[in-house]
Amino acid sequence: MQNYKLTIEYDGTNYLGFQVQAKGKTIQGEIEHALERLFREKIRIISSGRTDRGVHARGHVINFKVSTDLKNRNIRAALNTYLPRDIVIKKIEKVASDFHAQYSVKDKTYEYVIVLASIRSPLLQRYAYCCNYDFNVKAMRKALKHVVGKHDFRAFASKIPSDKNTERTIKKATLNFNGARLAIRLTADGFLYNMVRNIMGTLCLVGQGKLTSDDFRNILRSKDRTKAAPPAPPEGLTLLSVHY
Amino acid sequence: MQNYKLTIEYDGTNYLGFQVQAKGKTIQGEIEHALERLFREKIRIISSGRTDRGVHARGHVINFKVSTDLKNRNIRAALNTYLPRDIVIKKIEKVASDFHAQYSVKDKTYEYVIVLASIRSPLLQRYAYCCNYDFNVKAMRKALKHVVGKHDFRAFASKIPSDKNTERTIKKATLNFNGARLAIRLTADGFLYNMVRNIMGTLCLVGQGKLTSDDFRNILRSKDRTKAAPPAPPEGLTLLSVHY
């Protein structure tokens, strides 16, 4: 059995999320379906993680094992023929048998994009959260600094059992602003369920002046989910890359 | 009767084009349907022009006349509630009764975007033509210069009756390249049917080295549609603005 690592891009708009569900279209479901068509056996993929309904990915990583004589480029071409237009295998690599797309992760980088628009934008809203606020970007930058480092992110985690370890390390947090578009990137050793979107939702309240950056830090320290804002919408979020 | 000028943005992916057809979804159809819901009468809009199936617009302009006491912002808000998510009225203005969205046009600007990608990209392909060529951008720039000025563009016009005037003036043509993305903008007093996409299709052949920039100029001069390339795909094209 050869272990394969795949790098995948997808537009998550029309999917229930990455992980297979009892009903409805998922990214995992589409990929496993394509693998089954190609190899004529059921293959379970291992994913670097799950993205929520409507979240996109530029470099999601998965792995799976199979015995085959096919060349990498032919596996990729065949899978891309079977996959729908909004999912693509960008890269396929042979990896050592102990490579595990989830356990071997060193860090992941997500980007959240906010577009400042006085009205919804059909051409931007698919890959950005469009909103009509006069954001205080300086305050947002200040608040964002508080997430960097090792913290218990329980306040920003949705549906987390109380006995689960919710410590994560955010290695890098950047905010890019060009006058109309905010792009926030977070790199961490791992992310809790809804963590980026919950941080973004709360950060938007700082941007609107409803919270100060000190309030933001206190919410993080409180470890209390009810203190933080609801998650920001999924369309603004893209998993950029996973590093091993 | 008050004359209203509307500026519209839309994602053309799911439409047969701007103009109403016997069957199927069109931008005009959706707008006239929203107007009828609001004003409870059939209103025919006048459009600055027609965009093809799958072509987008950031600043398409239309006008229509109606008698109403409603304020501009309330008309806009109501129409945007009735319109589908991929069409939006960005701006509404009262204009003089002789303003005509088609006849009053001074010039229009289109943008065509090409993304150089070794594989299709779910996150880029909706608003760009993704292709895997190592374009000679210098040759493309040289060819593009030939379209500027007043010319008979018959070689780049699809389905044009032989007695129709096919002279147009391209006032400006620019090509922006950042290493992975080509954005070509054309400003003209008017465009013939499929003109931008036919120019782009032929320009791509120059980029691929299949034609020289002299060949390109000779095709323009030939006034012979069969000499030029087929139209480039619609998803790369966006009507940016219309000036009056």
Every domain of chain A and the residues it spans: 2-95, 107-243
Give the active site residues of A.
52
CB contact under 8 A, B126 and A11: yes
Q: Are strands A107-116 and A237-243 parallel, antiparallel or unpaired?
A: antiparallel
User: What is chain A's length?
Assistant: 244
The enclosing H or E element of A146 equals none
pLDDT single digits (tens) A176-212: 999 899 999 999 999 999 999 999 999 999 999 999 9
The average pLDDT across B63-72 equals 97
Pick the CATH number of B107-243 from 3.40.190.10, 3.30.750.24, 3.50.30.30, 3.30.70.660: 3.30.70.660
Q: Mind listing the pLDDT tens digit for each residue in B45-60? A: 999 999 999 999 999 9
The helix/strand/coil state of A158 is coil
Whether the pLDDT of residue A160 is over 90: the answer is: no
Count Cβ atoms below 10 Å from residue B81 Cβ, excluding itself: 10
Thinking of the domain B2-95, which architecture would CATH place it in? 2-Layer Sandwich (3.30)
Mutate to test the interface with B, among A13, A123, A125, A235 (most CBs of B within 10 A): A123
**Chain A residue at shortest CA distance from B14:** A122
Q: Is the pLDDT of residue A162 over 90?
A: no
For A9, the closest chain B residue by CA position comes to: B122
- Check if B2-95 and B107-243 are the same fold: yes
Residues B129 and B196 sit within 8 Å (Cβ to Cβ): no
Structural element, H or E, at residue B63: strand B56-66
Rounded Cα–Cα distance for residues B54 and B14 (Å):
7
Q: Do residues A6 and A89 touch, judged by C-beta distance below 8 A?
A: yes
CB neighbours of B134 closer than 8 A, spacing ≥ 6?
Answer: B116
pLDDT digits (tens, 9 = 90+) for A98-148: 999 999 999 999 999 999 988 999 999 999 999 988 899 999 999 999 999
**Tokens (6 digits) for B1:** 């009767």
**Is B52 an active-site residue?**
yes
What's the pTM value of the predicted model, to 2 decimals? 0.92
> Which pLDDT belongs to residue B162?
83
Interchain pair B122, A9: CB under 8 A: yes
Determine, for residues B85 and A11 on separate chains, whether the beta-carbon distance falls below 8 Å: no
Res A181: pLDDT? 94
Res B132: pLDDT: 87
The predicted pLDDT at position A132 comes to: 87
From the list A244, A231, A141, the residue with the least C-alpha distance to A183 is A141
Residue in A9, A90, A120 closest to B88 by CB: A120
One-letter amino acid identity for B205?
A: L
CB nearest B121 (choices: A9, A120, A122):
A9
Nearest CA-CA distance, residue B126 and chain A, Å: 10
Residue of B nearest to A124 (CA): B11
Q: Which of B119, B123, B124 to mutate to test the interface with A (most CBs of A within 10 A)?
A: B123
- The ipTM estimated for the assembled molecules is 0.93
Q: How far is A86 from chain B (nearest CA, A)?
A: 5
Q: ∠ CA(B3), CA(B52), CA(B128), 5° rounding?
A: 115
- Residue B58 touches chain A, beta carbons under 8 Å: yes
CB A54 within 8 A of CB A12: yes
- pLDDT value for A118: 87
Cβ within 8 Å of B, A 83-102: 85-88, 90
Residue A201 corresponds to which amino acid?
G
pLDDT range class, residue B35, cuts 50, 70, 90 = very high
**pLDDT (tens digit per residue) in A62-83:** 999 999 999 999 999 999 999 9
Find chain B residues with C-beta within 8 A of A58's C-beta.
Answer: 123
User: Under 8 Å CB-to-CB from B80, ≥6 apart: which residues?
Assistant: A119, A120, B88, B89
Residue among A201, A207, A238, A210 nearest A143 (CA): A207
CA distance A200 to B173: 40
Which of B85, B119, B121 has the CB atom closest to A122's CB atom? B85
Residue A80 touches chain B, beta carbons under 8 Å: yes
- Which of B88, B119, B120 lies closest to A121 in CB terms? B88
* C-alpha dihedral (A51, A20, A154, A236), degrees to nearest 10: 20
Which of B119, B130, B235 to mutate to test binding with chain A, by most A CBs within 10 Å of its CB?
Answer: B119
Q: Which of A49, A52, A184 is nearest to A112 (CA)?
A: A184
Q: Count chain A–chain B contacts defined by CB atoms under 8 A.
A: 49
Nearest CA in chain A to B127: A123
- Tokens at A3, concatenated: 């272990």
Q: In this structure, which amino acid lies at residue A225? A: R
Using the Cβ of A152 and the Cβ atoms of chain B, whether some distance falls under 8 Å is answered with no
The 3-class SS string of B163-212 reads CCCCEEEEEEEEEEECCCEEEEEEEECCCCCCHHHHHHHHHHHHHCCCCC
Closest CA to B28 of B5, B10, B4, B2: B10
pLDDT score recorded for residue A159: 85
pLDDT at A230: 95
The whole-number average pLDDT for the span A33-40 is: 97
pLDDT of residue A161 exceeding 90, the answer is no
Whether pLDDT at A163 is above 90: no
All residues of chain A having their beta carbon less than 8 Å from the beta carbon of residue B127 are 123
Measure the CA dihedral B89/B92/B95/B99, to 10°: -10
Helix (H) / strand (E) element for A131: namely: strand A129-131
